[in-house]
Amino acid sequence: MMAVNGKRPRSWLFTTVFWAVVAFGVLAALGIPRWWESLTVAVVGVAASYGWWSRRRRSEFWIFFGVVCSLVAVLAFLAAGRALLTTVKVPVDSIGQETIVCGSVMNPAPNYSLRVTDIRTGEPTTRPQAIPHTQLEQACVKRLDYRVAEATAATVVGLLLAGRAIGHVVLSSSATRTLSALPSPERRTSRLRRPSRRH
């Protein structure tokens, strides 16, 4: 869309950076994100969003873009909630029949209750060589930390997309000033009806 002064706004550059950062954040959330990855997504995403907000113009597809960004933001928040609320089970063997039930991030299992259990029956298993309790605790802490990192990355992506959705729906201040500066139909008709002073 062309700007009022005839110059094309450079919002496409910030849009490209924004979606590249969001894609990186989604890939990080699907894997094992590190803290600096989420921080980078947040900083660069906010900077790109600010640049886009300051140069944005409401396009003719603003409803579609707003709805899509809102839906993806909701999915990101649901993924963050799932990472925080789902029970974590750490497999002990390669087959996956014996696990450690660690609880969830919001409700972790007490350290004294950690046991190696059979995934089919849920009962504690007897092993020829018992795993040290400290090793069970470390396995659960590590896996719960992964879940916190996943929830953080998903939350950052959700917030960025929510801001983008709002930007598509809310009319920019520059566009508002432009519309208010245009003469109203009443003013146009009054100017046409005004008699000329020339004789």
Structural domain includes residue 54: yes
> Is residue 179 domain-resident?
no
pLDDT digits (tens, 9 = 90+) for 45-83: 999 888 888 877 767 777 888 899 999 999 999 999 999
Q: What is the pLDDT of residue 54?
A: 83
Distances (CA, A) of 157 to 11, 50, 63, 78, 82: 20, 15, 20, 12, 15
- Total structural domains in the chain? 1
What's the longest Cα–Cα distance across the chain? 115
pTM equals 0.74
Classify residue 135: in a domain, yes or no. yes
Asked whether residue 109 is assigned to any structural domain, the reply reads yes
The DSSP code for 111 is G
Whether residue 121 is contained in a domain is answered as yes
Counting as low any pLDDT under 70, the low residues of the chain are 1-10, 58, 95-96, 126-129, 171-199
Q: Which domain holds residue 21?
A: 1-172
Task: Give a yes or no: residue 126 inside a domain.
Answer: yes
Three-state secondary-structure class, residue 89: strand
Smallest Cα–Cα separation from 164: which of 78, 79, 43, 48?
A: 48
102: nearest Cα among 92, 117, 87: 87
Residue 192 lies in a domain: no
| 97, part of any domain | yes
